[in-house]
A and B are shown apart, each in its own frame.
Chain A
Amino acid sequence: AQTVTQSQPEMSVQEAETVTLSCTYDTSENNYYLFWYKQPPSRQMILVIRQEAYKQQNATENRFSVNFQKAAKSFSLKISDSQLGDTAMYFCAFRGADGLTFGKGTHLIIQP
């Protein structure tokens, strides 16, 4: 079974700063996807970014980028120019053969 670990339960940064959320995972699979999802207070789970394991290039979506280190089984999310609307729970997720496995989440607070 896969495990996903997010070691930062909560983080707080000032608006416009850059913040990095950490995620590590453990798997014996070779074909998998990794995701970051955002869950604001509305509880709607929103896809932030996706990374296919077979791709060496790190995924980027506007202010969001990842640092994918396959050998180290590490998948961090960098948010640049953070905005108040980025305040939310962020979940790292692993998609292998057995569905999505989520980490416990990091509560990110953007301070004005």
Chain B
Amino acid sequence: KAGVTQTPRYLIKTRGQQVTLSCSPISGHRSVSWYQQTPGQGLQFLFEYFSETQRNKGNFPGRFSGRQFSNSRSEMNVSTLELGDSALYLCASSHLEAGGRDTQYFGPGTRLTVL
């Protein structure tokens, strides 16, 4: 099976702009989660989607949003970019098990640089 894919791999934006990142999960996985990784804050959970519905959301401002499509592909959007949004954005997909637990498999990430 093909792994999780993320596009684009690298992105450079300027402050105030908005950006959309895309994630295609492993075939058959209906759950997609997003994480932000920075040197200072480490890995932080952004949100989780299952069957087009947001299940969980991390502690991020409303500028960060996401959605999931009927084919399980997901996008996340960051509006009004700030310098602090520069990070590696990781997407993970999983097969949600009974009890709501899962094993997440990660994509290669999108490196966003905000100038």
Contacts and interface: CB of A to CB of B under 8 A. Distances in A.
A50 B103 contact: yes
A91 B90 CA distance: 14
A31 B45 contact: no
A102 interface: yes
B54 to A, nearest CB: 11
Interface stretch (B15-23, B67-75, B76-84, B104-112): B104-112
B53 interface: no
Interface string B11-49: 000000000000000000000010100000011010010
B108 A105 contact: no
B109 to A, nearest CB: 6
Contacts of A42: 108
A45 interface: yes
Interface in A52-92: 52, 91
